[in-house]
Structure 1
Amino acid sequence: MNLFADFDLRIKAALETLDIVKEKRAELDFGRITIEPPRDQSHGDVATNAAMVLAKPLGTNPRALADLIAEAMRSDADVSEVSVAGPGFINIRLSTGYWQRVLAVMISDGTDYGRSTIGGAKKVNVEFVSANPTGPMHVGHCRGAVVGDALANLMGFAGYDVTKEYYINDAGGQIDKLAKSVFLRYREALGETIGEWPEDSYGGDYLVPVGQELAKEYGTRLHNMPQEDWLPIVKNRAIDAMMALIREDLAALNVHHDVFFSERTLHADGAQKIRTAINDLTFKGHVYRGALPPPKGQLPEEWEDREQTLFRSTEVGDDIDRPLIKSDGSYTYFAADVAYFKDKFDRGFEEMIYVLGADHGGYVKRLEAVARAVSEGRSKLTVLLCQLVSLLRDGEPVKMSKRSGNFVTLREVVDEVGSDSVRFMMLYRKNSEPLDFDFAKVTEQSKDNPVFYVQYAHARCMSVFRQAREAFPDLDIDSLNLADSVAGITDPNELQLVAKLSEYPRIIEAAAQAQEPHRVVFYLYDLASAFHGHWAKGNQNVDLRFINDKNRESSIARLGLVHAVASVLKSGLAIAGTDAPVEMR
């Protein structure tokens, strides 16, 4: 039950009864009307700008129109008070009975409360991480992994049909470099001294086990082969080993993809998928032969001062046209991007979301241009850029990893502070803003550590049920229908907590539509704060305690409220990909 959607319908129904609206109904746009919580909770439970946005087209004063709407809303049995503020804002206070019915729905729905159908089962592909399979995940991949995974969870909860995808960049020069680096480790495993490690190689210790396994399996046979023979063998083994390492790192972060898509499949059978994609663009009039002028500044890697096969991307929103086939007949990296998008489109996805690092900002317009050209506007492409994460310890930068050679690994961070802390904090800033991750702060047991504060709220909820079993040992709590006892929730402080819970469905829908999963964790922190605040009031006033061994009925009613709080916390934490602990020590 979405309270705000409910009152959106009620307020619009009230508008339809007004003579001034009936006369000009065809000219009015109700879509600009918002129904939301007031900024100041003391003003009421629901606020609307209806009079502000409709006064001008109706040719009337906003305040006068607000008075008419307010009068119409006063006849609603679930409304206890309506007031008009400022130039025409309408604030509505809801009846206790309405809040009790909302609470009953929350209790009955449990962790499904807030689940939405706004997605309409629309097929969405969320592609995230997609790190080159050349080593373990580093902390730079961590934020994109969490944002992409949480966004997919959120959109799934909001009714979209979501697929989580990882694009394996297993073609190109970086894979050849990886294989040659593994071959050096293989030679080391045979007892050879390599000497100075080549600058253009991957020198991390994570390749040592791969070389040792090759030595164990092949002995000296690979060493005696020419490069064209050993390279494909070592390349396949290296990719498999690195992807196994990456999957383990992601699993430690509670990230699991539905699809791992190999770039090599685009180049298989004579690059048939790439050729098909280019032919498709050619048929649609987006491909031509020509030469590009040299761009200002540093020349891009694939720029050539000669005639090439080009994508006319400037006609579909890009800054410059993009090369597809070089003058020597080889395909560009961008040609594979075109084929990859077409593959997604052919799989029936109506929206593709790419979660990329901030250093990929230059890719946005070209990818959007591909989407417009390939799908002819039938599929939407969105790129979310994740800004950098700075690792700190008591405010000081964290040193590099020895194992990786030149970066801090994701696994090191997860092993030190835990997956829950990493995930929650990676979401505790909007993805487009830089993030400081301080190891000391995320392990504090205080309000200043958001993940602890939220998880502690859920653990406290569970402790209330344990207290109830101790206070009423003869009561079979598990068999109670707590929704039947909501009439016992009447205290204004308790109703404020119900009001905070009622915002959850609205938060879910807004966050999913905006593709901003950080909104969910912000809300969870606010809900935890409200719950902890009410707990503190119970410490001061025994009448407000959740469990009162001298009042069985009120205790059962409050168990329903606590159940609702716990359910929303657990639901939101699941979207964030974190645990909802039953106790914390």
Structure 2
Amino acid sequence: MDVFAQIESRVAAALEALKAEGQLPADLPASGFDVETPRDPTHGDLSTNAAMVLAKPARMKPRDIAEKLQARLEQDEDIASVSVAGPGFINITLQPGVWQRLVREILNAGAAYGRSEQGKGQRVNVEYVSANPTGPMHVGHCRGAVFGDALANLLAFVGYDVTREYYVNDAGGQVDVLARSVFLRYREALGEDIGAIPEGLYPGEYLKPVGEALAKEHGQSLLNMPEERWLPLVRTFAIEQIMPMIRDDLAALNIRHDVFFSEASLTQSGTDKVKEAIAALRAKDLIYEGRLPRPKGHEDDEWEDREQTLFRSTLFGDDEDRALMKSDGSYTYFAGDVAYHYDKLQRGYRHLVNVFGADHIGYIPRMLAVVAAFAGGTVERDAKGKLKSWQSSGGSTDLAIKVVNLVKLFKNGEPYKMSKRAGTFVTLRDVVDEVGRDPVRFMMLYRKELEQLDFDFAKVTEQSKDNPVFYVQYAHARAASAFRNAQNVFPDLAPRSAKVWEADLSGLTDAGELDLIKKLAQFPRLIAGAARAEEPHRLAFYLYDVASALHGQWTRGNDSPHLRFIQPEDGVMTAARLAMIAAVQQVISSGLSVLGVEAPESMR
């Protein structure tokens, strides 16, 4: 089903035959080369750099190897022509029958087309969103949420065992601020005039029902307690009220996590994962007591001019060592993250993915450092016994950190401010309610994650080629409409009918039809490459190209009636073109599913 892989296999077989004939060195590896689509389509369907890659180990000129391969490949009945270009690139044009067979292969494979065992069942933990549990999701969380979810879908599509995880930051100072904010609303619910919300507390209207629920459960009893007694009670209550709100916001984007991991759980119920993690690093001689220099150019809340417990993160590329315990014995914020990732590794994950916002870029080196430390290796010392470096054991554990950039809201090209139910920010739910889930998800993925994204409410809802999500969904709906229209003429040509699935495809020879099928041939390789690079935006771009090819062929039929998908006088050709359209539908449907976007049967 992967045309590229099939031709790669045939090039390898040709190399083996040439070795057996003594035309190439017997020990020459028949691998390590690529088969790709040529940049210039006039050069052929596929191109390989095999001769260029193998020239040095073969001690031969690339063109000499290319010409030998050309002669061998020209004997393949599926290959129409082979040419050698430049110093030794080999361009290959396939017979139309290859593309015609691919249509049937896609139909037979159905939703399995493009799937693979690339991941081989390896366990992957993808952590994304992980916003503080202090209120509803805001638009700043939206892009990271969509990116992380699509990436998890993409990895699962190619065979990884994926866990979608949310880290609940419920142990820091921000949840104490939340508790005090809710306590203020609690007093308000009991009839007190609280006046203006004090600076430093959360002012959002969403906390009013939380305060009312607190009043209903506890009555006035909390008013008579000192803060050290009511604070932990209100903190727990507030988080229990707000986490369902966060889940609902994410569900509006069709995002559901497998695990919600509590930061507070690291040091609760008689366990201290932070202590365990520090002990594990200490056993590797990666912990010491010392002082850190004052940060330059910015404040560091964890800096103090006293001896602290430090992690040797500079051994792993960080610009300075990092504090894990302050001089008073309390843990730093970073220590919690160390323990959390230590826990992930103890749960058996060897590939970790974290999705960060652009404001956390500075945090990346220390996180990479600590996962590298836990991954295994040995300390190297100089002649005096002084630690000088860390030698990795080359294990399979790794952490990938994906950074998503900011989203700016516009309407008709002008900055757009919406209702702020939260008091200080635009909520994710505001955006979804305004334009719908599918435009939000697709457009959040229609830029590489590191690029800033301008989200224009008017553009993402207009019905035009300039709106990518509409253009792709319309292609799927247009394909469905072709079947509905065809049944008015040929009632037996229903979707998934035997006459379509077993159609004679030999008539699919028009250049536009073959180009469309060639687009579909790229899907398995596109999916595999996007998964390796952990870049779901590649799929969004690809789907737009497929949609463009389908719309283009439809338009050609308007100008040239013999190219129309439905030929009232020719049921055989109509069935063949419907089979091709069904294959397009399948690829668009699978791709949109990975992106978490609906593939509609009709558009209003």
Structure 1 counterpart of 2:590, one-letter code:
S
| Match in the other structure for 1:469 | 487
Q: Please name the residue that 1:222 is paired with.
A: 222
Spell out, residue by residue over 1:154-174, the C-alpha distance to the aligned partner (whole angstroms, 9 max, x if none): 010011111110000011110
CA distance in 2, matches of 1:410, 1:130: 14
| Cα distance in 2 for residues equivalent to 1:177 and 1:80 | 71
Do the aligned partners of 1:103 and 1:483 also contact (CA within 8 Å) in 2?
no
Change (3 A) 1:479 1:164: same
Per the alignment, residue 163 of structure 2 pairs with 163
Number of the residue aligned with 2:420? 402
Cα pair 1:21 1:58 within 8 Å, conserved: no
Deviation at 1:427, TM superposition (A): 0.3
- Alignment equivalent of 2:597, drawn from 574, 578, 582: 578
Please state if 1:426 is matched with 2:427.
no
Whole-angstrom CA distance in 2 between matches of 1:477 and 1:127: 39
Map of 2:10 onto structure 1:
10
Residues 21, 51 of structure 1: CA spacing in aligned structure 2 closer, same or farther, 3 A cutoff? Answer: farther
Deviation of 1:274 (Å): 1.0
Query: Would you say 1:522 and 2:541 are equivalent positions?
Result: yes
CA distance in 1, matches of 2:233, 2:499: 63
Amino acid at match of 1:123: R
TM-score, length-scaled by structure 2: 0.94
Partner of residue 432, structure 2: 414
Q: What secondary structure sits across from 1:17 in the alignment?
A: helix
Equivalent residues of 1:105, 1:483 under 8 A apart: no
Structure-2 separation of matches of 1:577 and 1:113:
17
Q: Does the 8 Å contact 1:400/1:406 carry over to 2?
A: no
> CA offset at residue 60 of structure 1?
3.1
Question: Whole-Å Cα distance in 1 between the matches of residues 501 and 490 of structure 2?
Answer: 19
Higher mean alpha-carbon deviation, 544-553 vs 139-148, is at 544-553
1:454 aligned residue (463, 472, 495): 472
User: Any conservation in 1 of the 2:137–2:428 contact (CA below 8 Å)?
Assistant: yes
Coordinate RMSD, CA, aligned: 1.6
1:391 to 409, 419, 425: 409
- Structure 1 residue aligned with 2:379: none
Q: 2:133·2:242 contact (CA, 8 Å) conserved in 1? A: yes
Q: Are 1:505 and 2:524 an aligned pair?
A: yes
Partner of 1:444: 462
The alpha carbon displacement at 1:478 in A equals 4.2
Supply the AA of the counterpart residue of 1:370. Answer: V
Q: Contact conserved, 2:45 with 2:92, CA < 8 A, in 1?
A: yes
Aligned to 1:267: 267
Letter in 2 for 1:105: E
Question: Partner residue of 2:381?
Answer: none
Q: How far has the Cα of 1:252 moved from its partner?
A: 0.4
For the residues of structure 2 that align with 1:472 and 1:317, how far apart are their CA atoms?
Answer: 67
Equivalent residue, structure 1, for 2:31:
30
The 2-side partners of 1:11 and 1:66 are apart by 11
For 1:319 and 1:278, the matched residues in 2 are separated by 20
Check 1:94–1:323 CA distance in 2 against 1; reply closer, same or farther (3 A cut). same
CA displacement 1:350-399 (0-9 Å, x = unmatched): 10000010111111111111111112144110000001111111111112
Deviates more, 1:197-206 or 1:212-221: 212-221
Shift of 1:400: 5.4
Aligned to 1:348: 348
CA contact under 8 A between 2:483 and 2:494: conserved in structure 1?
Answer: no
Structure 1 runs not aligned, ≥5 long:
none
**CA distance in structure 1 between the partners assigned to 2:494 and 2:586 by the alignment:** 20
Give the secondary-structure state (helix, strand or coil) at the position aligned to 1:75: coil
Q: Which residue in 1 is equivalent to 2:124?
A: 124
Residue 484 (structure 1) shift: 2.2
Flag the 1:128–1:95 CA change in 2: closer, same or farther, 3 A.
Answer: same
CA shift at 1:303, angstroms? Answer: 0.9
**How far 1:103 sits from its partner (Å)?**
1.5
8 A contact 2:492–2:499 mirrored in 1:
no
Distance 1:271 1:278 in 2: 14
C-alpha distance in structure 2 between counterparts of 1:400 and 1:418, whole Å: 15
> Is the 1:400–1:407 contact (alpha carbons within 8 Å) kept by the matching residues of 2?
no
C-alpha distance 57-180 of structure 1, shift in aligned 2 (>3 A) = same
Decide which moves more: 541-550 or 345-354.
541-550
* Structure-2 separation of matches of 1:26 and 1:326: 60
Letter in 1 for 2:113: Y
More helix by share: 1
Q: Distance in 2 between matches of 1:40 and 1:239?
A: 57
The question of whether the paired residues in 1 share the 8 Å contact of 2:165 and 2:258 is answered with: yes
Give the aligned residue type for 2:546: L
Distance 1:167 1:25, change over 3 A: farther
Structure 1: distance between partners of 2:493 and 2:453: 48
Distance 1:469 1:27, change over 3 A: closer
Cα offset, 1:28, TM superposition:
5.0
Q: What SS is found at the alignment partner of 1:296? A: coil
Pick one of 475, 482, 496 that aligns with 2:515: 496
Moved more, 557-566 or 36-45: 36-45
1:203 positional shift: 0.6
How far residue 538 of structure 1 moved from its aligned partner, in angstroms, is 1.2
CA positional deviation for 1:48 = 1.0
Is residue 287 of structure 1 aligned with residue 306 of structure 2? Answer: no
Query: How far off its partner does 1:279 sit?
Result: 1.0
- Distance (whole Å) between structure 1 residues aligned to residue 494 and residue 400 of structure 2: 51
Kept after mapping to 1: 8 A contact 2:435/2:457: yes
Q: Which residues of structure 2 form unaligned runs of 5+?
A: 377-394
**Structure 1: distance between partners of 2:499 and 2:281:** 60
TM-score by length of 1: 0.97
Write the mapping of 1:68-79 to structure 2, written as runs, cut at 5 A. Answer: 68-79=68-79
1:11-65 residue CA offsets vs partner (Å, 9 max, x unmatched)? 122122335986545465832x111111122221111112222223433333332
The one-letter code of the counterpart of 2:558 is: N
**Quick one: structure 1 residues 340 and 104, their matched pair in 2 at CA, closer, same or farther if it must change by over 3 Å?**
same
The answer as to whether partners of 1:469 and 1:477 remain within 8 angstroms in 2 is no
Match of 1:54 in 2: 54
CA distance in 2, matches of 1:253, 1:108: 32
Contact 1:16/1:22 (<8 A) preserved: no
Q: How does 1:165-204 map to 2 (within 5 A)?
A: 165-204=165-204
Output one character per residue of 1:310-335: Cα deviation in whole Å (capped at 9) or x when no partner: 11111223221111111101111111
Hey, what's the Cα distance between the residues in 2 that align with 1:132 and 1:475? 54
